[in-house]
Amino acid sequence: AAGYGTRLLPATKSQPKEILPLIDKPVIHYAADEVVRSGIREIVIVTSAGKTAIEDYFDRSRDVEDYLARKGDLEKLELVRSVSKMADFAYVRQPDARGLADAVNTARPLVRDEPFVVLLPDDVILGDPPATRQLIECYESFGAGVVAVEEVPAMEVSSYGIVDGERVDDRVTRLRRLVEKPRVDEAPSRLGIVGRYLLTPAIWSAIDRLEPGYGGELQITDALQTVAREDALYAYRFQGTRHDTGRPLTALIAAISVGLQRPDIGPGLREFLRDLDLDAET
């Protein structure tokens, strides 16, 4: 959560994009919820200057709690308390925006020599089992790192890390090539990495040897190319729906999709959408 969120300016001018709501929860809450539902209790968040709202969100909010307790609103009180009890949170800061591999590397002293999962919180993935759980199960079967992938439209391959390799089964590919944001005519496939990675300690020495890549930044995709070559790495076509909340149109689509599934607001939203006179609106 250390990026600038420039695609959502000016909203992100004075607040982290991870705190912008998807309906009534900050975007990053969905990522925390996903890992917790996948059996993970320890969360390290990589932040940067101006992002303390994230720490405050996952901390206790004594004033709000006292106010709700005084009012006797026990339901909301429990809701507020449950956020700070979701998991054990730790924070590290990335001083310079030097790329995703550098962001992951700032968490290294806390993660150390254990497998771990990286989530880019602006990709909200809805599904059961959660995408992170699916990666853990793939790791348990193959004993190597796994990246979550999905087929992306040709026009969009240059926005993703694109991977290719040998198909193991319907969902699993053993990776040979990973290219960060290739041109469409140079892309090895249409399989794009989404914001979920299960990494093993093999990533650390690959990051140590990394040279700046796409955009002059240290790219995790390039470090993973080394892991695929020297160790092993798999791609997993996860089940579930991914929403990119980091751009205006897709963020709005995410809100509508999530809203339609919510029992409290879904019926009202459905009615509103059904009654829309689209011709009159344009």
Binding positions for ligand G1P, rule: CB under 6 A = 100, 120, 123, 160-161, 180, 192-195, 219, 221
Residue nearest to ligand G1P (CB): 161
Residue type, 140: E
Shortest distance (Å) from residue 101 CB to ligand G1P: 9
Q: With respect to ligand G1P, which residue has the nearer C-beta, 43 or 124?
A: 124
Question: Residue 267: exposed, middle, or buried by beta-carbon count in 10 A (0-12, 13-18, 19+)?
Answer: exposed
30: DSSP letter:
H
Shortest distance (Å) from residue 215 CB to ligand G1P: 8
| Distant-in-sequence, close-in-space partners of 37: CB < 8 Å, separation ≥ 6 | 129, 130, 132, 133
Q: With respect to ligand G1P, which residue has the nearer C-beta, 77 or 194?
A: 194
CA distance 153 to 200: 30
Answer yes or no: are the C-beta atoms of 29 and 134 closer than 8 Å.
Answer: no
Shortest distance (Å) from residue 94 CB to ligand G1P: 13
Q: With respect to ligand G1P, which residue has the nearer C-beta, 144 or 187?
A: 187
Shortest distance (Å) from residue 116 CB to ligand G1P: 17
Q: How many other C-beta atoms are found inside a 10 Å radius of the C-beta of residue 17?
A: 24
3-state DSSP assignment of residue 229 = helix
CA distance 216 to 196: 22
Q: With respect to ligand G1P, which residue has the nearer C-beta, 77 or 130?
A: 130
Answer yes or no: are the C-beta atoms of 20 and 44 closer than 8 Å.
Answer: no
Shortest distance (Å) from residue 41 CB to ligand G1P: 25
What is the token pair recorded at 194? Answer: 């989404």
Shortest distance (Å) from residue 281 CB to ligand G1P: 31
Q: Bridge partners of 116?
A: 199
CA distance 98 to 164: 26
| Distant-in-sequence, close-in-space partners of 85: CB < 8 Å, separation ≥ 6 | none
Shortest distance (Å) from residue 192 CB to ligand G1P: 5
Q: With respect to ligand G1P, which residue has the nearer C-beta, 16 or 77?
A: 16
**Residue in 183, 192, 194 with CA at minimum distance from that of residue 162:** 192
Q: With respect to ligand G1P, which residue has the nearer C-beta, 47 or 219?
A: 219
CA distance 251 to 256: 9
3-state DSSP assignment of residue 114 = coil
Shortest distance (Å) from residue 2 CB to ligand G1P: 11
Q: With respect to ligand G1P, which residue has the nearer C-beta, 138 or 218?
A: 218
Q: With respect to ligand G1P, which residue has the nearer C-beta, 102 or 123?
A: 123
17: DSSP letter:
G
